[in-house]
């Protein structure tokens, strides 16, 4: 293995590790209770900036993930059981659907606080 391949491998591992850290941060934020969730919305830009420093495109990934979460939550909130069935039919994990439903009050509170 030449030096170029070693450097590429090291960079790939660092990016993979950074992606894991970013995912863990976002998971931890999403699991916070409703009392803390409005603060999560306030610090979301800082998390996005941190993610951008950890891995290329991290800021866009965080912003997109947050937008997708809000969109799915709004859909579940407005369309109820029909939305849940549709999301399940297109392959969204039922556990993720239930977690998103549980976050709806917190997302509403975060939007109200913003």
pLDDT of residue 70: 87
For 91, phi and psi rounded to 5 degrees? 105, 5
pLDDT level of residue 85 (50, 70, 90 thresholds): very high
Residues, the chain: 114
Angle at 67 between CA 63 and CA 71, to 5 degrees: 175
pLDDT of residue 35: 46
Note the pLDDT tens digit of each residue in 27-50: 666 665 444 555 666 777 777 777
**DSSP E strand stretches across 1-114:** none
- The pTM assigned to this predicted structure is 0.55
Domain boundaries, the chain: 3-113
> How far is it, in rounded angstroms, from Cα 34 to Cα 41?
12
């Amino acid at each position: 293995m030449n030096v170029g391949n070693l450097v590429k491998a090291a960079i790939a591992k660092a990016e993979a590790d950074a992606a894991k850290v970013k995912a863990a941060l976002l998971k931890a934020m999403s699991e916070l209770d409703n009392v803390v969730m409005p603060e999560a919305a306030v610090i979301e830009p800082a998390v996005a900036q941190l993610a951008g420093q950890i891995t290329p495109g991290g800021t866009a990934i965080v912003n997109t993930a947050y937008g997708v979460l809000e969109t799915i939550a709004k859909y579940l909130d407005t369309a109820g059981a029909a939305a849940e069935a549709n999301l399940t039919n297109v392959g969204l994990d039922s556990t993720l659907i239930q977690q998103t439903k549980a976050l709806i009050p917190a997302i509403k509170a975060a939007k109200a606080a913003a």
